[in-house]
């Protein structure tokens, strides 16, 4: 199908973009990479009267190290995440996750900010950002503010962003040297959303787990941070009984829909399986 008619705007600055969004109100949508919005427009499931294209705003791009955190601009592409030397050295799970998103053509154009900001529970980066304890930098008509990734997602396609606000960057604490990590994703075919997926980051010392974090993708109306599951791992040797208890705790917080990817019960069990696999790979990578 062909999208409905709309007016196109291409602001040069963050301030101009915010002003446009405030002026145009709910009739406007932000256009970043376009891979979520444009398909909806083609099927007329979304019919914005105005598109505010933020791809020309240079300040929204780039990857920088600032002390003990990495800052990623919202318009940074998935391809740039994959090829970044800084991310590869400090937070390699980001590139690992990016490689599992859609296909190479989409990764060249699809943006990091678009993946985390639109509230789609099937997107891969939101659960990873929750797992990593990321913070979202937002600009709006009342200035700038920070929102923890773990507090950002409020429902399917519903986030903490207010009217006229734009996600500008994501700040991610650099995990401890030698940390273990893995992102496991079950999907029907290349390019599909996850049936279930899990992000795991752990640290080990003396054969014991000293810290752990787990994020779950596409098994609820929002991404999930499995804090209780991760807490069970800390202080353990990641023995089978402890891992099984953590897997059960992760499964317990899921609430997937039954859909073309399988019945809810199956998707819940696959979430647990992805946690188990990710823990196994993360442990094999952890040093200490």
Q: Round to whole Å and give the CA distance between 66 and 24.
A: 35
What is the structure's pLDDT at 80? 97
First and final CA of the chain: distance in angstroms? 55
| pLDDT tens column, 264-285 | 999 999 999 999 999 999 999 9
Torsional sign, CA 51, 79, 150, 166: negative
The CATH number, out of the four listed (1.10.760.10, 3.30.9.10, 1.10.10.10, 3.30.390.50), of the domain defined by the range 181-285: 3.30.390.50
Residue 182 reports pLDDT greater than 90: yes
Give 9's DSSP letter. Answer: E
Sign of dihedral through CA atoms 149, 153, 158, 159?
A: negative
Mean of pLDDT values over 13-40: 87
Question: What are the residue ranges spanned by the domains of the chain?
Answer: 7-53, 58-173, 181-285
- Going by C-alpha positions, the residue among 135, 146, 212, 225 that lies closest to residue 176 is 212
Average pLDDT over residues 53-77: 96
pLDDT over threshold 80, residue 87: yes
DSSP letters spanning 114-170: HHHHS--TT-SHHHHHHHHT-EEEEEETTEEEEEEHHHHEEETTEES--TT-EEEEE
φ, ψ of residue 68 to 5 degrees: the values are -100, 20
pLDDT at 147 over 80: yes
Q: Alpha-carbon dihedral of residues 11, 15, 16, 22, nearest 10 degrees?
A: 120
**Res 120 pLDDT > 80:** yes
Segment 51-60 mean pLDDT: 93
Q: What is the pLDDT, as a whole number, of residue 1?
A: 66
**Which of 230-263 are b and which e, b meaning 16 or more Cβ less than 10 Å from the residue's Cβ?**
bebbeebebeeebbeebbebbbebbebeeeebbe
Predicted confidence band of residue 103 (pLDDT cuts 50, 70, 90) = confident
Does the pLDDT of residue 34 top 90, yes or no?
no
Q: Quick one: average pLDDT of 84-109?
A: 93
At residue 247 the predicted structure's pLDDT band, cuts being 50, 70 and 90, is very high
**Fold classification of 58-173 (topology level):** 3.30.465
What pLDDT shows up at residue 202? 98
Answer for the pair 245, 231: CB distance below 8 angstroms, yes or no.
no
Fold (CATH) for 7-53: 3.30.43
């Amino acid at each position: 199908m062909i999208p409905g008619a709309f007016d196109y705007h291409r602001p040069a600055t963050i301030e101009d973009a915010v002003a446009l969004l405030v002026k145009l109100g709910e009739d406007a949508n932000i256009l970043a990479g376009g891979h979520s919005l444009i398909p909806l427009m083609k099927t007329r499931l979304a019919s914005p009267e105005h598109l505010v294209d933020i791809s020309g705003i240079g300040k929204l791009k780039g990857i920088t190290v600032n002390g003990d955190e990495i800052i990623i601009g919202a318009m940074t592409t998935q391809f740039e995440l994959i090829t970044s030397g800084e991310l590869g050295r400090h937070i390699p799970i980001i590139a690992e996750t990016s490689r599992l998103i859609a296909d190479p053509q989409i990764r060249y154009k699809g943006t990091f900010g678009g993946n985390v900001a639109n509230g789609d529970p099937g997107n891969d980066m939101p659960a990873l950002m929750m797992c990593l304890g990321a913070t979202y930098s937002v600009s709006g008509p009342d200035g700038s503010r920070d929102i923890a990734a773990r507090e950002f997602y409020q429902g399917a396609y519903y986030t903490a962003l207010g009217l006229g606000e734009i996600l500008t960057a994501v700040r991610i604490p650099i995990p401890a040297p030698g940390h273990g990590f893995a992102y496991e994703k079950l999907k029907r075919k290349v390019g599909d959303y996850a049936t279930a997926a899990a992000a795991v980051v752990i640290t080990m010392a003396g054969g014991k787990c000293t810290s752990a974090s787990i994020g779950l993708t596409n098994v609820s109306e929002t991404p999930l941070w499995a804090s209780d599951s991760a807490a069970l791992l800390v202080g353990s040797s990641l023995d089978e009984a402890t891992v099984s208890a953590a897997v059960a705790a992760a499964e317990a917080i899921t609430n997937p829909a039954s859909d073309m990817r399988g019945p809810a019960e199956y998707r819940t069990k696959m979430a647990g399986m992805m946690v188990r696999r990710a823990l196994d790979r993360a442990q094999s990578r952890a040093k200490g």
